[in-house]
Amino acid sequence: MDLGTTKSIVTGISGGKPIVLENAEGFRTTPSVVAFGKNGNCLFGETAKRQAVTNPENTFYSVLRFIGRSYEEVRNEVTKVTYNVQKDNNGNVKLFCPALNKQFAPEEILAQLLCKLVEDANKKLDGSFTQIAIVVPAYFNDSQRQAVRDAGKLAGLEVLRIINETTAAALAYGFDKKSNETILVFDLGGGSFNVSVLEVGDGVFEVLATSGDTLLGGDDFDWKIVDYLANEFEVDQNIDLRKDRQALQRLIEAAQKAKTELSSATQTEINLPCIAVTQNSPKHLDRTVTRTRFEKLCSDLVDRCRVGIENVLRDAKLNKSDIDEVLLIGGSTRIPAVQEMLKNLLGKEPKQNINRDEVVALGAAIQGSVLGGAMTGILLLDVTPLSLGVETLGGSMTNIIPRNTAVPTKFVDNFSTTEDGQNNVKIHILQGDAELAKHNKSLGFSCLNGIPPASKGVPQIEVIFEINVYGFLSVSAWDKRTQTSITVNFDPQ
């Protein structure tokens, strides 16, 4: 399954080839939207999306942007959605549903969507599948991956593998290729941006490097138009439309439509009658947005994509001339300014005969089939996208596993005590590439308990950090001096 920020697709294998499984409504894609009606009934996909304007507070979309995150990390995001994003006592994100008067974790909402999608697939196949391979943005950190796996578990599924989006796309593209190629996969969807460089050929898929941004996607391009329209309206009418959830939902939908039209037209009209009312008089919003204006508004977003490509090439130690093919995936790669930037930077036309909407899900089917043993001769070598480290003196981060290390991997680091008789050591585990600990993602604290008593600095504790093929971290430890294993309580945050 491609569990996307905007839409999801379920796939399977038929006659040795990956195929898309339609949902119960007969569509190949399902909007990743879950809504609760006034009487508590649950709506999904297209049905949920259609009623968003009249039920903005109970309609949950772009939920993947919130998964596995602390409230602090998404502070700037919460005003951009029409539902109420709250902070629980542990600082985690919760989504409030007024219709049920209930808080949900983002993974609980996604679990409902997963249930419905799997149920539809089972009906379609006349089966009772309970195992799944889920695709996530390649640049997801450990917390985000864990939360997606939790969503699968909550849906009663066994998540066999979490696959990276760009890797899945490369699988679908290259699974019947014989010759070796170096490919760059550029993925810009609704909520996240990922770029990977891979060597592909003869059944071997080796990721050389991955970069990206998990808060950069089509939603951000929409938001540029929303802000532009709302700011202009505020100047004219002294009303901030972003404060009214229904008006905001209408603005977001209009911005999405305008953005999509600007991918083929050079200008578009935005027309929102009665978007606000002042002193009993209805106010309308009428505006023309040109492609030039849109490109100006979004230039910083396109720049962030460019930086991601430069980073991935540097990490892979390649020049642009080493890239044989460029694969575009994700709906937002239809934006002309994005394509222009890619062409200028890489000096190459992207591959055209790729279905940018379905290729990721088709790759997931291939990987699922390999895991299930039905397909053989495919070897996938992926990397961990972000450096893993620990907090050290002065609040800095010391790297243990550098980004773009092939997974599975195992690194060892040595720790000791700073006080006589100290029987435990607490290690703060971080993921990211910033120098200061506070600018990286805190994955949690690993507590080494039961260290045999000794003077300070004497214990020689070897801590083993392991990242498995899923990209998941585990921590274990032992005392070399006394040859005893040490219990590690790792509390992922």
Residues in contact with Mg ion by CB under 5 A are 4, 189
Q: Given the complex with ligand ADP, which of 191 and 444 has the nearer CB atom? A: 191
Q: Does 330 bind ligand ADP (CB under 6 A)?
A: yes
Cα separations in angstroms, 376 against 14, 87, 98, 132, 470:
15, 46, 49, 18, 19
Decide which of ligand ADP, Mg ion, none touches 335; Cβ closer than 5 to 8 Å per partner kind.
ligand ADP
Decide which of ligand ADP, Mg ion, none touches 49; Cβ closer than 5 to 8 Å per partner kind.
none
Q: Given the complex with Mg ion, which of 331 and 459 has the nearer CB atom? A: 331
Backbone φ and ψ for 319, nearest 5 degrees, come out as: -100, 165
Site for ligand ADP in 54-113 (CB under 6 A): none
Q: Are 282 and 273 in contact (CB under 8 A)?
A: yes
Counting Cβ atoms within 10 Å, is residue 345 exposed (0-12), middle (13-18) or buried (19+)?
middle
Question: Which of these segments, 139-147, 302-310, 331-339, 440-448, binds ligand ADP (CB under 6 A)?
Answer: 331-339
Q: Does 23 bind ligand ADP (CB under 6 A)?
A: no
Q: Minimum distance from CB of 422 to ligand ADP (Å)? A: 48
Q: Minimum distance from CB of 18 to ligand ADP (Å)? A: 17
Decide which of ligand ADP, Mg ion, none touches 218; Cβ closer than 5 to 8 Å per partner kind.
ligand ADP
User: Which of 152, 174, 158 has the alpha carbon at shortest distance from 18?
Assistant: 174
Counting every residue written for the chain, the total comes to: 493
Q: Given the complex with ligand ADP, which of 190 and 350 has the nearer CB atom? A: 190
> Which position among 144, 194, 332, 442 is part of the footprint of ligand ADP (CB under 6 A)?
332
Return d(Cα 291, Cα 245) in angstroms, integer. Answer: 27
**What string of DSSP letters covers 75-117?**
TTTGGGSSSEEEE-TTSBEEEEETTTTEEE-HHHHHHHHHHHH
Q: Does 259 bind ligand ADP (CB under 6 A)?
A: yes
Q: Given the complex with ligand ADP, which of 64 and 425 has the nearer CB atom? A: 64
Cα separations in angstroms, 371 against 1, 243, 277, 365:
14, 48, 57, 10
Q: Given the complex with Mg ion, which of 105 and 359 has the nearer CB atom? A: 359
Return d(Cα 113, Cα 52) in angstroms, integer. Answer: 16
> Which position among 12, 174, 212, 331 is part of the footprint of ligand ADP (CB under 6 A)?
331
Decide which of ligand ADP, Mg ion, none touches 417; Cβ closer than 5 to 8 Å per partner kind.
none
Q: Does 389 bind ligand ADP (CB under 6 A)?
A: no
User: Which of 190, 214, 167 has the alpha carbon at shortest distance from 68?
Assistant: 214
Q: Does 268 bind ligand ADP (CB under 6 A)?
A: no
Residue 192, SS3 per DSSP = coil
Q: Given the complex with Mg ion, which of 8 and 387 has the nearer CB atom? A: 8
Return d(Cα 102, Cα 203) in angstroms, integer. Answer: 48
Q: Does 189 bind ligand ADP (CB under 6 A)?
A: yes
Spatial CB neighbours of 340, under 8 Å, sequence gap ≥ 6: none
User: Which positions lie near ligand ADP, rule CB under 6 A?
Assistant: 4-7, 189-191, 217-219, 256, 259-260, 263, 330-332, 334-335, 357
